[in-house]
Amino acid sequence: MVKKIALEEHFLCPGFEGYWQSTVGDVDPKILAQVVARLSDFGDLRLKSMDAAGIERAVLSIAGPGVQAETDGRIATRRARDANDFLAREVQRRPNRYSGFAHLAMQDANAAADELERCMTELKFAGCMINGHTNGQYLDHPSLDPFWKRAEALGAVIYIHPTDPVTPSPALEGHKGLRRATWEWTFETGSHALRLVFGGVFDRFPRARIALGHMGETLPFLLWRFDSRAKLYGIKLAKPPSEYIKANILVATSGMCSAEPLNCAIAALGHDRIMFAADYPFEAAEEAGHWMDDVALNETVRADIAYNNAAKHFGLR
């Protein structure tokens, strides 16, 4: 088994169940109870699953949307801080196995920047995860420039996690099976990242970095088309869109145990920007781990994707 760092591994802390359950949809209550048990556990259940998958270190993040769905900004800021303190205590119990991503209330750009800085400097977190839009506001909004400025200065990677869109697309009407993780979240989250690219966030903050799960939410597959259409439509950016995607976006394999999109992501972005993730407990860590062990790759590339790239980009060991 190749040793691994897993980047998109979720937990729930007390008081956050309500936010999370709003995005669950129709799931068998028995399965739901098992998922909640796994989300709330930091001991045997999680560690056994990590061991079976060859995961040395899991970077833990709140199962979304968390305070991204909180309508009261002050409550959001306070609860995000409490959640980060909770996670820091769990990480402290097993510092060799766990690291943390900060949970941030983007309702207030300056408070979010302060909390990111506190989490990275005092709590030694690896970066942050933002669960998509905050009550309909995306991360390219100009009011968030102070946040990007601080994130860039800290060298923080902002991991953008899928969430439900503000309103479901009419194109999915009548097809419940296409909602959420099947297809809806890919479009929602890929669009979020493209808003940052096309909105010039990386022109304003050239060293800002984001991460996307699910093998890049289809972006690596579409680079040529983004460039071709951006030119045709006269989009005013310093570089073609693909250049930002290659320079400012990192990609994790979460929830995608499949060689074709992995090879596409490697070919499009370079293997040093691709990193392993399982998306526990929504996906089986064992399946993801065994897939990473077995998928056809040069052994140096496998070791980099499984461990070394995350160690380098997130300052983990």
The residues that touch Zn ion, with contacts defined as CB under 5 A, are: 8, 279
Closest of 39, 41, 38, 56 to residue 98, by C-alpha? 56
CB of residue 122 to Zn ion, shortest distance in Å: 26
**20 versus 125: smaller Cβ distance to Zn ion:** 20
Closest residue to Zn ion: CB criterion:
279
Provide the token pair at 311.
């160690």
**77 versus 99: smaller Cβ distance to Zn ion:** 99
**8 versus 286: smaller Cβ distance to Zn ion:** 8
CB of residue 283 to Zn ion, shortest distance in Å: 8
CB of residue 63 to Zn ion, shortest distance in Å: 7
Q: Is the peptide bond before 240 cis (omega within 30 degrees of 0)?
A: no
CB of residue 285 to Zn ion, shortest distance in Å: 12
**84 versus 131: smaller Cβ distance to Zn ion:** 131
**189 versus 309: smaller Cβ distance to Zn ion:** 189
Three-class secondary structure of residue 60 per DSSP: strand
Phi-psi region of 159 (alpha: psi -120 to 50; beta: other; left: phi over 0): beta
7 touches 275 (CB < 8 A): yes
| C-alpha distances out from residue 176 to 19, 168, 170, 299, Å | 21, 10, 12, 41
DSSP β-ladder status, 127-130 and 249-252: unpaired
Whole-number Å distance between alpha carbons of 215 and 276: 9
- Catalytic residue set: 279
| Edge-to-edge order in the sheet of strand 4-11 | 4-11, 55-62, 98-103, 127-130, 157-160, 209-212, 249-252, 274-275
